[in-house]
Structure 1
Amino acid sequence: MSDVVTYSREQSSGVITVNYPPVNALSHAVRSGLLAALEQGQKDAEAKVLLLVCEGRTFIAGADIREFGKPMQEPGLPEVVNTFESSDKPIVAAIHGTALGGGLETALGCHYRVALSSAKVGLPEVKLGLLPGAGGTQRLPRLTGAQKALEMITTGEFVGAKDALALGIVDAVEDGSDIRAAGLAFANKLADEGKPVRRVRDITDKIDAEKGSDVFNQFREGLKKRARGLFSPFKCVDAVEAAFNLPFDEGMKRERELFMECMESPQRAGLIHSFFAEREVSKVKGLSKDTPVRDVKTVGVIGAGTMGGGIAMNFANVGIPVTMVEVKQEALDKGLAIIRRNYENSAKKGKLTQEQVEERMSLITPSLTYDDFKDVDLVIEAVFENMAIKKEIFSKLDAVCKPGAILASNTSTLDIDEIASATKRPEDVVGMHFFSPANVMKLLENVRGEKTSDEVKATVMAVAKKIKKVGVLVGNCHGFVGNRMLHKRGAEAMSLVNEGATPQQVDKVLTDLGYPMGQFAMSDLAGIDVGYRIREERRNAGEHVEPSWMDKLAEQNRLGQKTQAGVYRYEEGSRKPIPDPEVDKLIEEFRKEQGITPREISDQEILERCMYVMINEGAKILEEGIADRSLDIDIVWIYGYGFPAYRGGPMFWADQLGLDTILEAVKTYQDTVGGEQWKPAALLEKLVAEGKTFGDL
């Protein structure tokens, strides 16, 4: 028997214990051990009931990620679950922590389930482009009915123990923290009462009641919007539907067929890359695990606008007090009102209680003076993109803030080193680039300056985790990683429209690829004035910036969604972009002014010019060390710009397409379009010559 799964007996209960830290994942050793322990329990004549319980902080939390991508060793999980379900002795699964994926499937193979009130259960395989492959799609709907099973399986979201009890997933919920005692009590009671084996496969009342229901077609219709472009959620529906239309064993065969279809989908590779990349970005190259981290107990935010307010909410949400400073009371009052409205909206949706709303609001202290920053541990400046203003602010912070306080800028493009030069403590200055809306978007692009200390780097990465963001540490250059690549895409999108495409054609190509919105709709969301100010800043710095019809929109106060008119127009209360003939006319006039004769442009050219220019720039970013790994770029784009996670990020996607294909197109556009952006990156040429990928770096 495996040393990670043991068998013992306590009174009339045979206890199968899994002890495979940290999360009791279903490794080959655990699967083999479960079968061996079950066999021992079956032979133990004194054991009337068997109990499956786990040591440590959780029940079985899913597959062993260390075995991902490797050939499956027998026994497979379906065999383990079926063997448990076939036991002649009742088996109780005692759940604490989380029972996820194969862990919940194993519990469903047991005959009874008891959980601590703090436990959660779920089938999150869809988040990796898969579906539950050990009977989850066949057993869960027998307990919950079709609708709830579909919701759980297609979203991968977890369910708390009390909800699981109401749904029939577990049979009892116990308070306290001793899962072994709770499990034994439940098992001994079963033994005393002589309760029989109760197999989930044999429970058919909900199956019989919903046969012939239209719930599956209705659910698929809803998925077309919620899961646009995704493969596995629709396969999940097919699998659950099989539980209602086929005998159990045939349903299991159908689940396995659909599981293998998901395994062969390129989306699975992209989602698994995204899964591992998200965990890997926290490991910063050259930064020791032992690097000291400063304690951030209080935070200051400069600016109560959209970004400043959103940033403040992130800290209030995790119980960290925030002092928010503005120059005028009116701006402060407006910012606080927007924060309250955001919290109130969450309360209306049932995500917060009114008590939590008031608690979070009480953590945000408004102020009109920098003097109130004298004791904070971290200050984040969130004013608009103007270097002179930012340097003036940092000079004031340098004078006011205590030694050891971290001074951060939320700048999206500007030079962190120049900002730091306004202080006497450049080692404490760092970029913390939040994405709009800051209280929603998961990415935090932390930007290291030349003199930023390792301690500060480690601290801002820890802060990202604390406020539930995905932190990526990047180097300092104009636009850093995300916006530097975005500016190249934006410039190509503008050129394509100048040459004859429409904004909506460009946007459709990008949304068809999987982005939630296109380049121009995103500009409207962020605010046309944001890009306008960046271009003006560059012009003021002496850079040559091409004239743009977008500047004309800004000058006409068409600033995007906030003014209900930008590249598109918007109806009151709606974020749906509507093409505007006025903008078509403005673009037409701009072409005439510039002497451009419009031409017809194919969707393929739009795709290549918008995306391949990004890949080429990403290769330059890697060359220069602005990003340490291609996966850092992938995560920035997935969580900051909506690149479809099922494609794995732009650099992973490029590897899948073939870097030779990308390079050939880049060279073609270098000849036909011209410009520095189409000069092939040396790294791209090197990788193609060596037959390697970005992932090989």
Structure 2
Amino acid sequence: MTNTVRYRTRGRIAIISLDNPPVNALGFQTRAGLRNCYRQALADETVDAILLTSEGRLFCGGADIAEFGTDLTWRDPALPQLCDELEDSGKPLIAAIGGMALGGGLELALACDYRICDASARLGLPEVHLGLLPGAGGTQRLPRLANVGLALDMITSGQPIGATEAASSGLVDRVAEGDLLAAALAFAQELLDSDAPVRSCADLTVDMGQLPERYFNDFRAGIARKTRGYFAPECCIQAIEAACELPLAQGLEKERELFNACLDTPQARAQQHLFFAERAANRVPGVDPKTPARSIRQVAIVGAGTMGGGIAMNFANAGIPVKLLELKEDALARGLAQIRGNYEISAARGRLTERQVQERMTLLQGTLDYDDLADADLVIEAVFESLEVKRAVFEKLDQVCKPGAILASNTSTLDLDRIASFTRRPGDVIGLHFFSPANVMRLLEIVRGRQTADDVIVTALNVARTIRKVPVVVGVCFGFVGNRMLEPYAREAHRLLLEGATPAQIDRVLTDFGLAMGPLSMYDLAGIDVGFMVRESRRDAIGHDPSYNLIADRLYALGRYGQKTGRGFYIYEGRDKREDPELLALAQTIAGELGIERREISDREVLERCIYMLINEGAQILDEGIACRSGDCDLVWVNGYGFPAWRGGPLQYADEIGLEPVLEAIRHYRESLGSYGEMWFRPSPLLERLVAEGKRFSC
């Protein structure tokens, strides 16, 4: 017995229970304890069958992330060898799966002879999200026990399946009714009474008879778009192909070869960086995580536009009642109709039932009266991005909201401390910056004001988890982290147009790099008028560069706002776009007015000027303490701006290619671009220090 694994017997059945809360992670101590208990059961002549289960409600969440990157991961017994040993059991070995069996936890269960799970169980192999493939037999045993299609879907997507699908595929032998342990013991006794044999995946082959000849290639083609840039999905497919072609022992060897190939790749480092960054983001320096959070039972949203409606949907999806405030009846009716329309689209696609649509709409209550927000625990304003408009809202909220209510702003650029000063309770004010579409995008920037109370920050983190967002706590400055980093990235895209690049070239270079959308297409989608209004509010802070986003200002003056007007940097017919000769002529005209020499711009220069300026701004944000960690900047850009996750975010990408080449390139453009370079290509002091010290952004 160890303190993470428990052993007892019930009649002639040994019960081995994982007891390593909260998720029964398979660290070295747990693996060693499991092997010892298993060998004890094999050696005990009074034991005829072995039941592997959990002391808690959850079977096993997989590997111990605290051991990632340490020798403990591979210390004997390593998980692959442990699963191989369980496979060779001389006595019936039954896995009783409650709650979840993920990653190595499911691989343990696959190595058993029989599997029973409760009706709410979820089973999955999510290693692909870490840039890996299942390395303890998952790619070999799953297709043998279930089928190739299920194995491909589960392993390349990393998405779990439920008990019903697991049972229908043969992955589990029985779904328990009622108490899992009682059902599992009864199942074990039934197996003994019927003299059921021990079973080994080594005796099973994969049924390929119903699969078309090009099955694997067709599957590759089907997932190519969403797996572009990733390394692990192809290795997953090759491992499953090996399961179809090779005996188990050789298939396991091939799996471990492919696992090792994934292990030392930029993609694996990037994906694991994001995995740990997401967990670290919940730890806010100076805030005790044990600080009691405020109760959030009723939420109110001020503004029923696209953003406000999307924010409201997040809370309704989580079962939290929402009051949606507008000042005019027609605006409120449009907002509620838009929300219903969004839900009905989801229902038409099979993602929601009609009953679920109605349940969520029932949680949404429209109002035209601020007094109806008096009972709200959390109020989020989502009104026009104007300090004066927000002043009016917060002064009114200060009057009507109850003591202890959290007052949040969805501002994307404005000074949260100024907004907090419009109330008599600045400690209750926080920024909750959602990204559009708010009901879809995972990122939530939590803006910590100078006087924001610790319990408000803790509550905001809890709220983010409740509505299934990735929270990142940031400080107060223009644009916070995401939009502040966007500014130099976009600035260079606009300037490159004047110097001779085309919109198509700029966007292609950045999408080829892996971004979901090029910067100029993004501005057309968001609205050139929106960017203009932001610039108008801060012209004094921009500096004295006459070319600064001038082409966008001219497009605004021409009424070319992007997709909404059919013309922006491109011409649009619906969502289809094509290059506009008039835009190219406009860029040439502006360049002539400003004396900017036009030339052929290389793809490399486009990439370096946009991405390296993005990195440099991230470094400056870190140096100023606006972000706590490089991983925070990376989470923002991966989850809010479409930066490729397989590159890990801008600062992880810089770490991967080396900070010295980034710094050298910035210095090169500072010298080669004349007065423009002198103005804008100023290396961050942090970047210079890290290069001098031979360090990275990520410690």
SS at match of 1:189: helix
Contact 2:202 2:247 in 1 (8 A): no
Correspondence for 1:567: 569
Cα distance between partner residues in 2 of 1:606 and 1:245: 46
Counterpart position of 1:689: 692
Alignment check: 8 A CA contact 1:375 1:401 kept? yes
Counterpart of 1:603? Answer: 603
Amino acid at match of 2:493: A
Partner of 1:680: 683
**Cα gap change, 1:690/1:597 in structure 2, threshold over 3 Å: closer, same or farther?**
closer
Q: Distance in 2 between matches of 1:236 and 1:52?
A: 27
- Identity within the alignment, %: 53
Residues 472 and 531 of structure 1: CA distance in aligned 2, closer, same or farther (over 3 Å): same
CA contact (8 A) 2:491 2:549 kept: no
2:435 equivalent in structure 1: 435
Which residue does the alignment assign to 2:185?
Answer: 184
The question of whether the paired residues in 2 share the 8 Å contact of 1:7 and 1:40 is answered with no
- Cα displacement (A) at 1:525: 2.5
Q: Which residue of 2 aligns with 1:120?
A: 122
Give 2:59's aligned residue: 59
The residue that corresponds to 1:460 in the other structure is 460
- CA–CA separation in structure 2 for the residues paired with 1:225 and 1:620: 34
Query: Which position in structure 2 is the counterpart of 1:447?
Result: 447
Residue deviations 1:309-362, cap 9 Å, x none? 101111111111111122322222221111111111111222211111111111
Matches within 5 A, 1:645-684: 645-673=645-673, 674-684=677-687
Supply the RMSD in Å over aligned alpha carbons: 1.9
1:258 corresponds to? 258
Q: Is this contact kept in 1: 2:201–2:248, CA < 8 A?
A: no
Cα deviation, residue 83, structure 1: 1.3
SS state at 1:207 partner = coil
Give distance in 2, aligned partners of 1:148 and 1:395: 56
Aligned to 1:324: 324
Superposition TM-score, scaled by structure 1 size:
0.96
Separation of aligned partners in 1, 2:564 and 2:330: 19
* Within-5 A mapping of 1:138-149: 138-149=140-151
Contact in 2 for aligned 1:127/1:271 (Cα 8 Å): yes
Partner of 2:391: 391
> Using the alignment, how far apart are the partners of 1:453 and 1:330 within structure 2?
37
Match of residue 558 from structure 1: 560
Local SS of the residue matching 1:88: coil
Paired amino acid for 2:183 = A
- How far off is 1:2 after superposition? 4.0
Structure-1 separation of matches of 2:211 and 2:306:
50
- Select between 376-385 and 581-590 the one with higher mean Cα deviation: 581-590
Give how far 1:123 is off.
0.5
Cα-to-partner distance string for 1:31-50 (whole Å, 9 max, x where unaligned): 22222222222222222221
Aligned counterparts of 2:67 and 2:611: Cα–Cα separation in 1: 33
Please list, as runs of the form range in 1=range in 2, the aligned pairs for 1:125-164 lying within 5 A after superposition.
125-164=127-166
Q: Is the 8 A contact 1:211 1:244 kept in 2?
A: no
Look up the equivalent residue of 1:196 and give its one-letter code: P
**Cα distance per residue 1:240-286 (max 9 Å; x no partner):** 11111222222211111111100111111111110011011011000
Question: Secondary structure at 2:412's aligned position in 1?
Answer: coil
Q: 2 CA distance for matches of 1:6 and 1:83? A: 19
Q: SS at the partner of 2:228? A: coil
Aligned pairs (5 A) from 1:286-325 = 286-325=286-325
Residue 476 of structure 1 is matched in structure 2 by 476
Deviation of residue 421 (structure 1)?
2.2
Q: Give the whole-Å Cα distance in 1 for the aligned partners of 2:570 and 2:39.
A: 67
Q: Over residues 587-606 of structure 1, what are the superposed CA-to-partner deviations in whole Å (9 max), with x where a residue is unaligned?
A: 33433443434211111111
Q: CA deviation at 1:212?
A: 6.8
2:299 and 2:571 map into 1 onto residues whose CA distance is 38
Deviation at 1:92, TM superposition (A): 0.6
Deviation of 1:3 (Å): 4.0
- 1:288 alignment partner, SS class: coil
Which residue matches 1:169? 171
| Equivalent position amino acid for 1:535 in 2 | R
Which SS does the other structure have where 2:123 is aligned? strand
* Preserved CA contact (<8 Å) 1:146 1:215: no
Distance in 1 (CA, whole Å) between partners of 2:55 and 2:201 is 25
Shift of 1:675: 4.5
Taking a change above 3 Å as real, the CA distance of residues 569 and 333 of structure 1, as seen in their structure-2 partners, is farther
Secondary structure class of the residue paired with 1:225: coil
Cα distance in 2 for residues equivalent to 1:438 and 1:107: 39
Partner of 2:101: 99
Shift of 1:191: 0.6
3-state SS, counterpart of residue 402 of structure 2:
coil
Whether contact under 8 Å (2:495, 2:549) holds in the other structure is: no
Moved more, 589-598 or 364-373: 589-598
**Cα distance between partner residues in 2 of 1:126 and 1:577:** 34
- Is this contact kept in 2: 1:405–1:428, CA < 8 A? yes
Q: Which secondary structure does the structure 1 equivalent of 2:225 belong to?
A: helix
> Counterpart of 1:133 in structure 2: which amino acid?
G
The count of aligned residue pairs is: 692
Secondary structure at 1:695 match in 2: coil
Q: Residues of 1 paired with 2:452 and 2:679: CA distance? A: 30
C-alpha distance in 2 between matches for 1:399 and 1:499: 53
* TM-score (structure 2 length as normaliser): 0.95
Aligned mates of 2:215, 2:188 — CA distance in 1: 37
C-alpha change, 1:315 and 1:482, in structure 2 (3 Å) is same
- Report SS of the residue matched to 2:391: helix
Structure 2 contact 671–678 (Cα < 8 Å) conserved: no
Alpha-carbon distance in structure 2 between the residues aligned to 1:658 and 1:346: 44
SS of the residue corresponding to residue 599 of structure 1 reads: coil
8 Å contact kept, 1:114–1:171? yes
Aligned mates of 2:67, 2:173 — CA distance in 1: 32
Partner Cα distance (2:459, 2:5) in 1: 39
Spell out the pairing of 1:219-258 with structure 2 (5 A cutoff).
219-258=219-258
Residue 550 of structure 2 corresponds to residue 548 of structure 1? yes
Tell me the distance in 1 between the aligned counterparts of 2:195 and 2:563.
66
- Provide the rounded CA distance (Å) in 1 between the counterparts of 2:213 and 2:638: 37
Contact 2:176 2:184 in 1 (8 A): no
- Per-residue CA deviations over 1:400-448 (Å, capped at 9, x if unaligned) read 2222222211111111112222222222222111001100111110112
Is the Cα contact below 8 Å between 2:622 and 2:630 reproduced in 1? yes
- In structure 2, the residue matched to 1:634 is 634
SS at match of 1:418: helix
CA distance in 2, matches of 1:312, 1:30: 43
Amino acid across the alignment from 2:163: A
Kindly indicate whether the alpha-carbon contact (under 8 Å) linking 1:442 and 1:639 is maintained by their aligned counterparts in 2.
yes
Indicate conservation of the 8 Å contact 1:63/1:101, yes or no.
Answer: yes
Q: Partners in 1 of 2:578 and 2:104 — Cα distance?
A: 45
SS in 1 for 2:285: coil
Q: Relative to structure 1, is the Cα distance of residues 456 and 642 closer, same or farther in structure 2, using a 3 angstrom cutoff?
A: same
1:185 and 1:563, CA in 2 relative to 1: closer, same or farther beyond 3 A?
A: farther
Query: Partner of 2:538: helix, strand, or coil?
Result: helix
Aligned residue for 1:195? Answer: 196
Distance 1:468 1:99 in 2: 21
Give 5+ residue unaligned stretches, structure 1: none
Cα gap change, 1:682 to 1:378, in 2 (>3 Å):
same
In 2, the alpha carbon distance for the partners of 1:213 and 1:612 equals 46
Letter in 2 for 1:199: S
Higher mean displacement: 190-199 or 16-25: 16-25
Instruction: Specify the SS of the correspondent of 2:175.
Output: strand
The structural deviation recorded for 1:465 is 1.4
